[in-house]
Amino acid sequence: MIKVGDKFTGINGRKEVVVSIWLNDKTVGVESGLAYSYEEVYKSWYQQQKQRADELEKQNDILKHNIRVELDSSRHMYIGMCEQKQRADRAEKRWERLKEYFIKEKEQSFGILSWSRNNGMLELIEKLEEDGE
């Protein structure tokens, strides 16, 4: 329902006009003295709403794209972090096996040269562990 005070874009599409009076069942008057049919008013409102909906749809598409980009970036970063953790876990296991090997060799060594070599490696391992912390 069109009421006095409602605004719409005039026929020229540039100037916004305000309904000032109802002239009859099919025509309204505006401030500038022009008369518009109800169809023209409703068509103007429809075009304005359609234009606004198109603008919002474009903004929505841009936001969706930006969200997809951010999600992809986050997913790649998460995958990279998981891979780094797996590599670090494997390195720690290898380090522990190496340490256990030299402890075992030290305990089973016969002779001063073998014991000294294994003990030297264990001391180096302990020094490296202290420096890494």
Q: Note the pLDDT of residue 120.
A: 83
Q: Quote the radius of gyration of the chain (alpha carbons, Å).
A: 40
In a domain, 2, yes or no: no
Question: What domain range includes position 127?
Answer: 7-132
Per residue in 8-37, pLDDT tens?
A: 666 655 666 666 656 666 777 776 667 777
Q: Note the pLDDT of residue 133.
A: 59
**All residues at 6 or more sequence positions from 64 whose CB lies less than 8 Å from its CB, including other chains:** none
Number of domains in the chain: 1
In a domain, 1, yes or no: no
Q: What average pLDDT score do residues 48-72 get?
A: 94
Q: What average pLDDT score do residues 92-117 get?
A: 82
Q: Note the pLDDT of residue 125.
A: 84
In a domain, 33, yes or no: yes
Residue with tokens 């103007």: 44
pTM for this predicted structure: 0.51
